[in-house]
Structure 1
Amino acid sequence: MPYDREDMGRLVRELTGPLVAHLSPGRARLRLGTNAAHYPDAAAELEAFARPLWGLGPLAAGGGTFEHWELWRRGLASGTDPGHEEFWGAVTDFDQRLVETAAIGLALALAPEVVWDPLSGRERDNLAAWLLHALTVEAVDSNWHFFPVMVGLGLERVGVGFDPAPNAARLERLESFALGGGWYGDGPTAQRDYYIPFAMHYYGLIYAALAGDRDPGRAERLRERAAAFALDFQHWFASDGAAVPFGRSLTYRFAQGAFWGALAFADVEALPWGTVKGHLMRHLRWWRGRPIRDSAGLLTLGYGYNQPLLTEQYNAPGSPYWALKAFLPLALPAEHPLWTAEEEAAPDLPAVATQPEAGVALMRCEEGRQVVMLSAQQYNTWARHGAAKYTKFAYSTFFGFSVPSGSRGLDQGAFDSTLAVSDDGVHWRPCEVPRDSTAHDGLLHSHWAPWPDVEIETWLVARPPWHVRVHRVRAERGFFSAEGAFAVNRDTPPRRSAEGPGHARLDSPSGLCVIEDLTGVRAGRLVHALPGTNVLAPRTVIPTLTGEHGPGEHWLACAVLGLTESPPDAEWPEPPGWGTVSELLPGGHTCGLRE
């Protein structure tokens, strides 16, 4: 399905229309199901109400129609009226409600004629008072500082005065997170995930577009960083529009591509407009083909399908509607060059792109049909399944990655694209917190310690379409090891498979996956992971190498291949020669590996 401006407008209405039946009597709450997030129902129902505004506000600003605006205006009036039974409650420090104020602020800034002007004087006063109070609370030291800034943009547009000094300080703090090369941290953390494009840059570009006249120096810096980031971020997308699934908040789905529309909103031609348009439209078309809505048309929790296991503790039923951030360019007129440009195919990019700021190397495989991200730096210790979402060795646009579904056995652990160790062969520990990480010229290096008396040093080497993993293990105890390749959809019968000394291989219509031991000390097996663990396929099998090792120093190494299609001949692909890999290790170390 081709996507252009009119198609995108229809898609916004298609996504938001089914929500109407779930609005509360006062229209301030959207009740989409059981709230299992850490915040109360009032905040969750505000979240579901507010997040559609990320798409509806731009739709209205660009002249698009939406027949249910009166319902959202009633909701704004009821939710901000302290005397109404559906009052959302005052925003407090570090409150989920603060997150949702940003969408309301943007809607006021872009489309006051449908959001603000029709309200009565008392309703405007209540809404303004509620938002003004939100400007006074403490925010998490991260992209959250942008939420009061978005509120400020909306209040300015409708003529409500406030002290600008706190927001100026917040903007200074946000700029302090800049790392160079167009990259930010999402606060003082190790995370360099999608919160950089769909939060840090996204809000920054909105600010640059709406406040550039009065804050030109900052607006120029924000634009320059976004332009630089675009050159790196384009490597995260395959030629079919799929983005690398990586990190937390994947249930926001096509928010992954929101950065491309934000570039256009701020008139940042970081790449030719046809290229920018192609990135955005292919991404939306890719998502169009995924089963991400239920029978009533509501977005589900999960990534490639309805998968609540994937979600974080801050995901309520309305959380997925952050996806509507992708529709920001609907605010642009039809004459904008984003819309008048012909959509261009995915650009021809280098086979390996190393991005030291994020600690990743991106491999462009099979002429761009698949992107594999090697990762060695990032981690998250507080989000559900943080280790699986950040510290696996590889993440694929085609094979995705898996999260655990229990604590016993390899089938529950679903240890694709990682090395897990165990002292009893039942309970397993993967890498959780890498340290001393480096990324340079397709070589990633890190240290990690599953136990105080076991130290593991890992090298990842990009050799597209293969990648090689080398581990030096220094252990004061005996241990078991299990190292998985990619997880392959097992709903399609395999054409052939092989498991035995030094290898595990699977070839099916759902892809080919091979893991070859380069030390000859491990055995291969095909692990059937529990259902619902992989982010793209509900049922998978993981080619895996397993071993048992005594105390002492051990070198483990393997080569891993995942292809979307089988090679034309019947032979299993050969891994890259060791000589092309060992030269990258310190001193050309052979690690005792076979040639």
Structure 2
Amino acid sequence: MTMASATALQTRGDWLTMLRTIVAPVLRHGAAGTLKSAMPVEAPTGGEGRRHFTHLEACGRMLAGLAPWLELEGLTGEEAAWQHEARGQAQALIASITDPASPDHVDFGLGLQPLVDAAFLAQAILRAPTILWNDLPPAVRTHIVREMAATRWITPASNNWLLFAAMIETLFAALKLDFDPMRIDRAIRQFDTWYVGDGWYGDGPAFRFDYYNSFVIHPFLVDILRVLPREPEWQEFGARQTGRAQRHAVQLERMIAPDGTMPAIGRSLTYRCGNLHLLAQLALLGKLPSGVAAGQVRSAMSLAMTRTLAAPETFDDEGWLTVGYSGHQPGLAEDYISTGSLYLCTAAFLPLGLAPNDPFWEDVGASPTAVRLCEGQDVVRDRAIEG
């Protein structure tokens, strides 16, 4: 499949084809133990400063997006056959990166960055507990726990990194292992104080106008509180957080223009359609906002995914993602961006964890909000929320 000739993403089959194109080299080389030798490291500084981290980035982020589809039961035909293959590859990849004897072993305790992508891997396991945990051999599960625990020496910065530490502890709690509730409690309480209104959190004490509310903040809060509504204070916050997340999802859907473009604002634009993480997550969980139809969301997301993934030069000659938002645009990369970072775009594909007959795939009713507005249709006005 060449991106220059790719048609617009519209159907479940289109989404599957694109997802397979994105994840194929990571799964193939990860399962074979050749990820470090095969994956390029494109980065603003030439890649050396990110080489220790980029492979874990690719694996953790890719699996966080792929996990619900890996966990889905009842598929048939060609999709089921690929799922069977991908399950085996994902399990072999996890075994490889956590095995000290593997050429692809990643030291989760080396430097600060592994806290981030250990958390994405933890999120993947929480989203696919059967395939990515229960079905793994005991030795592999032991390796995972050891590597996850190796990140505990890292003191997270006072921003979205608090949620990475909290996600790892949430995994430990879900697995009935010893966990540190303080790392979870601090993240929850701190973000409640950083809420600035109308569905938006500050990423730290200062507000930044970017997509981190959808890249990380809302999705991590949703999953942490979904898995672990342990303390009364957490449950109280969770009730507020649901409304905030749904409000932010409304805004994301309205940001998608009729041509699939979204405002080019803030950090990490090279995550491409990863900025749809929250919208995809709420669709997966059946928690889309009232008045926002599943088919409307699928249509809007498809426009944005086509815009960011189907442009020429999105992939190199070996099928790896290149740095860019729509095509190859290396000038967009911050100093923390490298090839592995880019696989956060798979977060947009979370709804593939819904059955093929789910309304998300079968609803052919409402068009995206921006399309209806530009066609002159009457649309319910947008409203802010309180709290």
TM-score (norm 1): 0.54
Indicate which of 239, 262, 287 corresponds to 1:220. 239
The answer to whether the aligner puts 1:76 opposite 2:83 as a matched pair is no
Tell me, in whole angstroms, the C-alpha distance in 2 between the residues paired with 1:182 and 1:41. 36
Out of 218, 242, 247, which is 2:261 matched to? Answer: 242
What SS class does the counterpart of residue 240 from structure 1 fall into?
coil
Do 1:240 and 1:282's aligned partners in 2 also have CA atoms closer than 8 Å?
Answer: yes
State the Cα deviation string for residues 406-456 of structure 1 (Å, max 9, x = none). xxxxxxxxxxxxxxxxxxxxxxxxxxxxxxxxxxxxxxxxxxxxxxxxxxx
Please tell me whether the aligned partners of residues 51 and 321 of structure 1 are also in contact (alpha carbons under 8 angstroms).
yes
1:252 to 271, 291, 303: 271
Read off the aligned partner of 1:323 and give its amino acid letter.
C
Question: Cα gap change, 1:148/1:337 in structure 2, threshold over 3 Å: closer, same or farther?
Answer: farther
Shift of 1:128: 0.8
Give the CA deviation at 1:256. 2.2
Closer/same/farther in 2, CA of residues 100 and 228 from structure 1, 3 Å limit: same
Deviations 1:53-100 (A, max 9, x none): 12221211223615143343333234334455543224367x111111
Q: 2:151 aligns with which of 134, 153, 156?
A: 134
> Which runs of structure 2 are paired with 1:330-349 in the superposition (5 Å)?
330-334=352-356, 336-347=358-369
The reply on whether 1:313 has 2:335 as its aligned counterpart is yes
If each structure's helix is expressed as a fraction of its own residues, which one has the higher value? 2
Structure 1 residue aligned with 2:51: 41
Residues 279 and 152 (structure 1), Cα distance of their counterparts in 2 relative to 1, 3 Å cut: farther
- Superposition map of 1:416-431 within 5 A: none
Tell me how far apart the structure 2 counterparts of residues 237 and 68 of structure 1 sit (CA, whole Å): 31
Query: Structure 2 CA distance, aligned partners of 1:97 and 1:30?
Result: 19
- Secondary structure of 2:265's counterpart equals coil
CA shift at 1:290, angstroms?
1.3
Q: Is the 8 A contact 1:153 1:210 kept in 2?
A: yes
Question: Aligned letter for 1:58?
Answer: P
Name 2:379's counterpart in structure 1: none
Q: CA deviation at 1:324?
A: 0.5
1:197-238, CA deviations, whole angstroms, 9 ceiling, x for partnerless residues?
A: 222122223334433587532222111111222343344221
Aligned counterpart, 2:127: 110
Which residue is equivalent to 1:563?
none
Runs of 5+ unmatched residues, structure 1: 351-363, 369-595
What's the secondary structure of 2:239's corresponding residue? Answer: helix
Structure 2 unaligned blocks of 5 or more? 1-7, 74-79, 377-387
Aligned pair 1:280/2:297, yes or no?
A: no
- Tell me whether 1:16 sits opposite 2:23 in the alignment: yes
Take 1:220 and 1:335, find their aligned partners in 2: how far apart are those partners? 30
Partner of 2:63: 53
Q: Distance in 2 between matches of 1:92 and 1:219?
A: 33
Whether the 8 Å CA contact 1:58–1:110 is kept in 2: the answer is: yes
CA 29–189 in structure 1, closer or farther in 2 if over 3 Å, else same: farther
Coordinate RMSD, CA, aligned: 2.9
C-alpha change, 1:301 and 1:207, in structure 2 (3 Å) is same
Distance in 1 separating the partners of 2:84 and 2:37: 18
8 A contact 1:55–1:327 mirrored in 2: yes
* Larger strand fraction of residues: 1
Kept after mapping to 2: 8 A contact 1:34/1:317: yes
Which structure's relative contact order is higher, taking Cα pairs within 8 Å and 6+ residues apart? 2
Alignment of 1:504-519 (within 5 A): none
How far did residue 11 of structure 1 move? 2.5
Distance 1:16 1:348, change over 3 A: closer
Tell me which residue corresponds to 2:4: none
Residue 194 (structure 1) shift: 0.8
Contact kept, 8 Å, 1:73 with 1:115, in 2: the verdict is yes
- C-alpha distance after superposition, 1:457-486 (max 9, x if no partner): xxxxxxxxxxxxxxxxxxxxxxxxxxxxxx
1:301, 1:308 within 8 Å by CA — same for their partners in 2? yes
Residues of 2 paired with 1:225 and 1:68: CA distance?
35
Q: 1:71 to 1:90 in 2, by over 3 A?
A: same
Identity fraction in percent: 26
Range that drifts further, 77-86 or 289-298: 77-86
Question: Once the two structures are superposed, what CA deviation does each residue of 1:267-311 show, in whole Å capped at 9, x if it has no partner?
Answer: 333242233233222222333441212233221111222121221
Pick closer, same or farther for the CA change 1:82–1:18 going to 2, 3 Å: closer
TM-aligned CA distance change 1:189 to 1:343, over 3 Å:
farther
Match of 2:204 among 181, 187, 190: 187
Determine the structure 1 residue equivalent to 2:186. 169
Shift of 1:156: 3.7
**Alignment correspondent of 2:14:** 7
User: Cα deviation per residue 1:312-370 (whole Å; 9 max; x = unaligned)?
Assistant: 111112221110111122233445543343252122599xxxxxxxxxxxxx9x769xx
Q: Match of 2:364, SS?
A: coil
Structure 2 CA distance, aligned partners of 1:348 and 1:294?
32
User: What is the CA-CA distance between 1:2 and the residue it aligns to?
Assistant: 5.0
1:306 and 1:3 map into 2 onto residues whose CA distance is 23
Name the CA distance, whole Å, in 2 between partners of 1:123 and 1:337.
37
List aligned pairs for 1:512-591, cutoff 5 A.
none
Contact 2:260–2:307 under 8 Å retained in 1: yes
Describe the SS at the equivalent of 1:244. coil
Alignment partner for residue 203 of structure 1, among 220, 226, 243? 220
- Counterpart of 1:304 in structure 2 is 326
**Counterpart code for 1:91:** G
- How far, CA to CA, are the matches of 1:265 and 1:208 in structure 2? 16
CA pair 204-294 structure 1, distance change in 2 beyond 3 A: same
1:27 Cα deviation after fit: 5.2
